[in-house]
Structure 1
């Protein structure tokens, strides 16, 4: 089993350079969930141990009431207490859950996207082996490959996001690279890591957020890119790490 999401969140939260990029995340309790439902337009409820977007629940405030979704199933309820009951109906008793502030994500061709940075340490230093935008399938609220998300070249998505302003797109990319390196080094001080999948998002205001860092990242998304140089680098590094 990989490292829990909350353990990694708390390690990153202690780093002054990362703190402002972390959306508020707490262990899920009924009272905390109710408070966050009232404080934010949406919240995400995630299993502490989980990957591929599985088991994620979103509760979103409507003009009257709430929409609670898990996968393709949804419930519309009138009150926050009813939303809490709907959330509990989607939960698995096998998992511990966390509750995270929802973000208004930027869109690419009308659908939300986030960013996967594939970090590897084949020898003694961390490197960015791959960077890709994960574009959600239509009407999905998660971008994961296993939930229908598809890959798009990150530079192309950023160029579109910043209205073809090359300087802004490059500045954003540099910030993403710097953040990813700090995250990898920070978590590696605490845990024996050689690979890390850093998931970042950009909201509608252009602010970058750290969604999570995966200690067992998937790499299948990189095969979808027409340029296979990143997946070749990732697979070559995997061989070095195994040795």
Structure 2
């Protein structure tokens, strides 16, 4: 009898785990398509531009749109301070519609967020390895578009990144980033990333990578394709003068 009960408990646990995975999309290999730009406008100043499109599945089942910009002050070649703003639109449900009660469905289950962030980057090099330490504080103004409830949240992030050039064209890129909530439940998430990078031109590069995104109790696997375009607009401004 004990064996039967044990087997039933095990089956119930497996069924619950599978149900949770189906609701969250944990078993699906998702994708992030990203653009990052750093546009130099003066000797010490540049503009950060960024757009990300995130999906629960491979280029389908929308999860999140992220648009971000900021002003960078280059203290020196190895230190950058940034003040920026981001807009984020998130569909938190893996399913196309969420369910409320028995048969009630609603479409507008998105979460809108306006975000202000302060950031400091330090760079250093050890042999051929290029390291980057990114420290970021975020003030997040979040609204649930279904319930209308708004919230203000604060978060700290730290990312350590390592880049290893393989040739003049190819390089490897790795990072790990931890998110700390500055209110209850301190741990937010952790992201571990590995990618192959390609220098297309002097100003343009691409990365093809894999991200493991860990939250408490759930993990997501994501393909990442990133486009990085860094331009020097200050030369154009000087010509116009």
TM-score of Structure 1 vs Structure 2, range by shorter chain: under 0.3
Structure with the largest fraction of helix? 1
User: What's the TM-score, normalizing by structure 2?
Assistant: 0.27
Structure with the largest fraction of strand? 2
Greater relative contact order structure (CA < 8 Å, 6+ sep): 1
